[in-house]
Amino acid sequence: MKDIKVIGFDADDTLWVNEPHYQAVGREFCGLMSPWTSPEKAAEELYATEMANMKLYGYGAKSVMLSLVETALRIGGDKVPAAALRRLLDSGRRLLDFPIELLPGVMEVLTALKGRYRLVLITKGDLLDQERKLERSGLKACFHRVEILSDKREEDYRELLAALAVEPRHFLMVGNSMKSDILPVLALGGSGVHIPFSVTWRHERVENASPDPARFRELRDISALPALLA
């Protein structure tokens, strides 16, 4: 990785804690649906709604909030009390304003790398939501550029690298999702560092991925990144 000039960093669950908040909301939803169905069935119904709505709403807290209400009404119909719907809306609002908890070593690593590389935050989701999280994180000054995408597919990275005027061989992506952060970049000829998080959203899981070891590494935490690049 000696030729790296630009490093992209994912945000949620790479720089700060995110998915546990969403899973807590999912568990609350399953509990509210207990008069009509089992927790397992409620979770499956919610996931199906989120996947169906993704093309309309994209990723993020607002999409989840709409999917919560839609799924509740589909499961319970007109029997779902207004109080339950209000709780779901309140849960969605909490996702828009939870305290930002940086993962260990993040600030130190970004500060150390800032003078040696162009650092770019590359995340997907709702624009306003991600901007607010970045502002509350205190990390904004660490980045040369911030990109908030509707998705992170191979074509999205291709367009981004062109905008950054960087060849794939000079680009490294760091993130917790093999599906969104690593595999698309490797497919373009870039490099990837996977830092698994303790929990992974079902939609982001990938089975039996075998990346090229010449351009891929997996680290236990972000603190090991500067040594890998040295």
Domain boundaries, the chain: 6-17+100-229, 19-95
Q: Which residue has the higher pLDDT, 198 or 111?
A: 111
Q: For the full predicted model, state whether its pTM sits above 0.95.
A: no
Ramachandran category for residue 166: left, alpha or beta (phi over 0 → left; psi -120 to 50 → alpha): beta
Number of residues in the chain: 230
Q: Please give the helix or strand (H or E) that residue 193 lies within, else none.
A: strand 191-194
What would be the CATH architecture of the domain defined by 19-95? Orthogonal Bundle (1.10)
Q: Are 179 and 157 in contact (CB under 8 A)?
A: no
Q: Token match 């999702």: residue?
A: 177
pLDDT at 207 over 80: no
- Please give the angle made by the CA atoms of 136, 138 and 143, to the nearest 5 degrees: 120
> Domain 6-17+100-229 is classified in which CATH homologous superfamily?
HAD superfamily/HAD-like (3.40.50.1000)
**H/E run at residue 107:** helix 106-114
Confidence tier at 99 by pLDDT (50, 70, 90): very high
